[in-house]
Amino acid sequence: MDYACFGNVLEFDTTYRTNAYKKPLVVLVGVNHHHQTVVFGCALLMDESIATYEWVLETFLIAILNTYL
């Protein structure tokens, strides 16, 4: 899937302490033109700080858009 084609909506879903590692899990998902869920990325985080969430989103943008902020 190409995020540039379906980049209008990105869901930033987080769970906390529901996985085996008791760490926050972030899943970045969207919907394609067939109304199917598409997973663009995920990350298992060390903490729930603002800086950590910023890092996840910035890293995602760099990986998807192949540009530097």
6 has pLDDT over 60? no
1 has pLDDT over 60? no
CA distances to 21, 33, 36, 61 from 57, in Å: 22, 23, 22, 6
How does residue 48 score in pLDDT terms, banded at 50, 70 and 90? Answer: confident
What is the average per-residue pLDDT within 28-57? 86
60 has pLDDT over 80? yes
Give the domain ranges of the chain: 1-52
Query: For 53, which DSSP code?
Result: H
pTM metric for this prediction:
0.68
Give 3-state DSSP helix, strand, coil % of the chain, rounded to 5: 25, 30, 50
Phi, psi dihedral angles at 18 (to 5 degrees): -110, 0
